A and B are shown apart, each in its own frame.
Chain A
Amino acid sequence: MAIPQQGRKAMLAVHLLVSIGWIGAVLSYLALGTAAAFSDDPAVIRSGWLGMELIGWWVAVPLAGASLITGIALSLLTRWGLFRHYWVVVALSLTTLCTGVLVLHMPTVSVTATEARTASPERLVELGGDLPHPTIGLVLLLAILVLNIYKPQGLTRRGWRLQQRRPRAR
């Protein structure tokens, strides 16, 4: 199924906006997580966790969902398809993985942020920050970005069959 170029461009613009916004949210989260991880100041650690909770639930999760939905829609409504090109399959798998891990991780962030609100200075220093999740997430999101820009060659078996069939249909 194909859509007019105007619609495709509008959908692509929304997909780029939410996907790059998601990377921005992860960078912001990483900045707070790093500050909380390396600081000995209880106020920095407390505010870091409160900020990570807000950015996670109010920015990263909605943008991740929007990126996944617009990515699937773009694939289905353009010539790329969902399972025709390896780069689309990999990008979609990584986006689904990142969204899933984010949604599963955020309740833990909320629990820690709730504890950080009332924790003693000693306990806050023990809480530290959050580096692995945003770092790995950022690497994966950058990999998805590179895939979307370069669109490396390679048809899946399904894409290959569809391409072989096309000339005969004329």
Chain B
Amino acid sequence: MTEPDRGPHPHPGMPRWLKVSLIALAVIVLVFVLLSLLGVGPDHGPSRH
């Protein structure tokens, strides 16, 4: 049985640019969901017309 990420050179983890991008994306999605729940902004989704 192997433990590939616990050897002499463990995996350094997620790079900072990706963490920042994911946080920014999460904030944007959260704002979008909140606006949708509050009924602000256009209707969305396929075949909405």
Contact = CB atoms under 8 A, between A and B. Distances in A.
A19 B14 CA distance: 27
A50 to B, nearest CB: 15
Contact of A90 (B5, B21, B46): B21
A107 B18 contact: no
Contacts of B49: 108, 111-112, 115
Contact of A154 (B7, B9, B17, B42): B17
Given A153-B15, A154-B17, 17 more contacts: A86-B18, A90-B18, A104-B46, A108-B47, A108-B49, A111-B49, A112-B49, A115-B49, A152-B15, A152-B17, A154-B15, A154-B18, A155-B11, A157-B11, A164-B4, A164-B7, A164-B9
**Chain B: number of interface residues, binned into ranges:** 10 to 19
